[in-house]
Structure 1
Amino acid sequence: MKLIEQHFRVTAALIVREMSTRYGSKPGGYLWAIFDPVAHVAMMTVIFQAIARMPALGLSFPLFFASGYLPFTFYQRMSSFMAGTMKANKALLSYPVVSPFDAIVSRFILQFMTDALVTLVILFMIVELSGVTQPMDTAGMAGAAGAAAMLGLGIGTINIVMFARFPLYEQIFGIVNRPLFMISGVFFLPESLPNPFRDFMLYNPLVHIIMWFRSGVYPEYRADGLDKGYVIEIALVCFVLGLTLLTSSMREIREDRL
């Protein structure tokens, strides 16, 4: 019981430290976390409104792009934030009371809470400014966001070890990961693509995550081909693989040999 309480205290302290390090003590740091995705959604809205009369779903361009961009950022920001966990906490890991798992849990909680708050604020702004009146399945949206965060956690945990052991892998991963924003369905509906491109895209779990999130935003959206179980399985496999790699490298991490 004392060990569990100790982990709770350490995790809470690490969350506070991460907040002050990442966002600072001034409100501007937190406002940037909201302004950045707002700027992306606004930019995409301006561009696509100039070339199309109607979005692929509904009547609101901002809502359509937000429904693709926001779940994608749950994965993207989580995986990036988690991959830097050991570097950011290297000095603290020299203390026996602080474990790598405490650092991972603290970063996951902070990033998920930040992304959830940003998502709520942006959707509220869009609904109020655009006059959107359609009902939304908040449970479905939360499920998709959670799956995206878990996938990001798994990939990020794998990359903690892989980036440290193989510097070239970090460059290769960056090259492979960069096009995901364009091919995961942020701008379009996978159902609109002809076969075999549509079937090929469905191997990408992020496509399913965005379809899952959009099905919660748009009651009329059928999301043909959506496989929630596939996303969860991929996320769990990545997380278990990441924990295995991290556990096998624990001593090297502690001794700063990675």
Structure 2
Amino acid sequence: MSQIDFVAQKPRSFRTLRTLMALILREMSTTFGRTAFGYLWAILQPVAGIILLTAIFSIALRKPDLGTSFALFYATGLLPFLAFLDISGKVALSIEFSRSLLSFPAVSYLDALLGRLILNTLTQIMVFGLVISATVFIYDQSVAVNYPKIIFAWFLLTLLSAGVGTFNCYMFLRFPEWERIYSVIRRPLLIISCVFYLYEVVPPPYSDYLWFNPLIHIVGMIRSSIFFNYDAAYVSPLYVICFSALPLLIGMTFLHKNSRDLLYR
């Protein structure tokens, strides 16, 4: 690349960064600025779920499948699951959310996707860190966090959310009935994503079928990065990457070809 080409491309990159920041700030003010509590609602939702699960299962069971704290066990499963639903759901509605802005040449569908992906991923990471830290402190748990592994697990979670969200972004616009179909498909996910139990307690052949759910690999990796005595040998990062790449590639390809047409349907 010549120096002239580099200089010519630099303003475009700067405009893209400014567009992304503007979309992120708009998302923050729209999503979290409508209520008095703002970001607090993003934290209260998973906390309420963890408290409810802890209360119910601590009555029926003497101890969780892993560790000694029901709250920490369910937090390490429920938080990644809710993060996937939130991030992928927000990405899926990116174009619809920013439809009025996409009429401007400076704003592309990719800006809308990235803006929502970045903001909501950072929000969910903040929620995860705060809730896990509070749970460890309140219940006086001894943990040895494997930070490289947990960072990699969040990378996989972000990639999966981006893939599913981008695919659904196209499908929701092209086939409006797909939104209802997908809402039905995702209902059993809470049960089959190893939120309430460990993968190892599921007997074959059901465990063989369960293995193909990419969320169990992410939940397993996060739990193994927090519970030092948990190995999660079944986890396959390569499978999660391949599973995520397919819908991401399909969604990006069709959005690239049809995004402008879909805006005016």
Q: Secondary structure at the match of 1:91?
A: coil
Q: Secondary structure at the match of 2:37?
A: helix
Query: Residue in 2 aligned with 1:247?
Result: 256
Q: Which stretches of structure 1, 4 residues or more, deviate above 6 A after TM superposition?
A: none
Shift of residue 251, structure 1, vs aligned partner? 2.6
Matched positions, count: 256
**Residues 72, 148 of structure 1: 8 Å contact kept:** no
Query: Residue in 1 aligned with 2:111?
Result: 102
Query: Residue in 1 aligned with 2:122?
Result: 113
Shift of residue 138, structure 1, vs aligned partner? 2.1
Is 1:89 matched with 2:125? no
Of 229, 237, 240, which residue of structure 2 is paired with 1:220?
229
| C-alpha RMSD over aligned residues | 1.2
Is 1:157 matched with 2:181? no
Q: Secondary structure at the match of 1:135?
A: coil
Mark the runs of 5 or more structure 1 residues left unpaired by the alignment: none
Percentage of identical aligned residues: 36
Shift of residue 79, structure 1, vs aligned partner? 0.9
**Residues 58, 64 of structure 1: 8 Å contact kept:** yes
- Mapped to 2, the partners of 1:142 and 1:27 lie a distance apart of 32
Q: Secondary structure at the match of 1:28?
A: coil
**Residues 71, 144 of structure 1: 8 Å contact kept:** no
Is 1:172 matched with 2:196? no
Q: Secondary structure at the match of 1:151?
A: helix
Query: Residue in 1 aligned with 2:156?
Result: 147
Query: Residue in 2 aligned with 1:40?
Result: 49
Residues 5 and 72 from structure 1, CA distance in 2 versus in 1: closer, same or farther, beyond 3 angstroms?
same
Query: Residue in 1 aligned with 2:204?
Result: 195
Shift of residue 28, structure 1, vs aligned partner? 0.2
Q: What amino acid is the match of 2:67? A: G
Q: What amino acid is the match of 2:218? A: I
Query: Residue in 1 aligned with 2:13?
Result: 4
Is 1:257 matched with 2:261? no
